[in-house]
Structure 1
Amino acid sequence: MDETSRTRSAVHAYFERVERRDWEGFGALLAEDVVYEMPQSRERIRGKATYLQFNREYPGDWHLQVRRVVADGRHAAAWVDARVGAEHQDACVWFELSGQGLISRITDYWPEPYDPPPGREHLVERW
C-alpha cells in the first residue's frame, strides 16, 4: 500500500473508531504529540491523552459520517456530516500524518451557515 492509500485508510479508521467510541483503537491511530485545533473557537489541544479525554467527554449524542476523503502523501482532507441530536453541520477536517503513519495534526473547521448577500439571486440556486 502506498503512502497516500495508508493516509486515506487512517482517516477512514479515525472516523469509524470515534463513531464506535472505540477509544483504544482511536488512540492507536494518534501520535503521542498529536495537535488538534479548532480555528473558529481558537482552541488547541496537545497530546494524545488530552485529545482522547476531549472526545470521550464531548457532550451530546454526536455522530460523524464521512462524505469524502482526499489524500495526498501524508496529508488528507475529509468532508464530514456531523450530527448532534437533530442538529446537522458539515465539517471540513484536515489531517497530517507522521513518518510512522500516525495522525499528528488535525484541524477541524465547523462552518456556520449564513444567508448570502442580496444581488446574486439570478446566478444561484438555493437548496
Structure 2
Amino acid sequence: MSDTTRTRQAAQDYVDRLECRDWPGLVGLLTDDVIYEMPQTRERIRGRDAFLRFNIEYPGDWHLRVRRLVADGPMAALWLDVRVGDERQDACVWLDVTEHGLISRIVDYWPEPYDPPQGREHLVERW
C-alpha cells in the first residue's frame, strides 16, 4: 500500500470513527503521543487519552461529513461539513500520518464566515 493510500484511508477512518462515536476504533488510529491543535483558540491537547476524553466530552449532538479529502504522502487535508443540532459549520483538518498508518498530529481550523470588504461587488457573486 502506498503512503498516500494509507494516509487517505486513515483520514477517512478518522472521520468515520468520530461520526459513529467508535471510541475503541478511534484509539486504534492514533499514536500514543498524538498532538491535536486548534489554532483559533491556541489550544493543544497532547496524548491519545486526553484527545479521546476531549471528544467523548464534547457537547452537543455533533455530526461530521467529508466534503473533500486530499492525501499526499504522509499528509491529508479534510474539508468537513460539521453539524451540531441545526447549526452548520465548515472545518478544515490537517492530519499527519506515520508510515504505520497512525495519526500523529491533527490540526483543526474552524473558519467563521464574515462579510466581504466593500468595493468588489462588481467582481463577485455571493451565495
Partner residue, 1:74: 74
Partner residue, 2:27: 27
Deviation at 1:101, TM superposition (A): 1.6
Partner residue, 1:88: 88
Report SS of the residue matched to 1:96.
strand
Tell me which stretches of 4 or more aligned residues in structure 1 moved more than 4 Å.
none
Aligned length: 127
Partner residue, 2:59: 59
Deviation at 1:103, TM superposition (A): 0.1
Counterpart CA distance in 2 for 1:5 and 1:86 is 34
* RMSD of aligned alpha carbons: 0.6
Gaps of 5+ in 2: none
Report SS of the residue matched to 1:21.
coil
Counterpart CA distance in 2 for 1:101 and 1:26 is 13
Counterpart CA distance in 2 for 1:104 and 1:40 is 20
Partner residue, 2:45: 45
Give the TM-score normalised by the residue count of structure 1: 0.98
Deviations 1:39-71 (A, max 9, x none): 000000000000000000000010010011100
Counterpart CA distance in 2 for 1:101 and 1:28 is 10
Counterpart CA distance in 1 for 2:126 and 2:39 is 27
Deviation at 1:28, TM superposition (A): 0.2
Residue 118 of structure 1 pairs with residue 98 of structure 2? no
Aligned-pair identity in percent equals 67
Residue 36 of structure 1 pairs with residue 36 of structure 2? yes
Counterpart CA distance in 2 for 1:46 and 1:100 is 20
Gaps of 5+ in 1: none
Deviation at 1:100, TM superposition (A): 2.0
Counterpart CA distance in 1 for 2:82 and 2:17 is 15
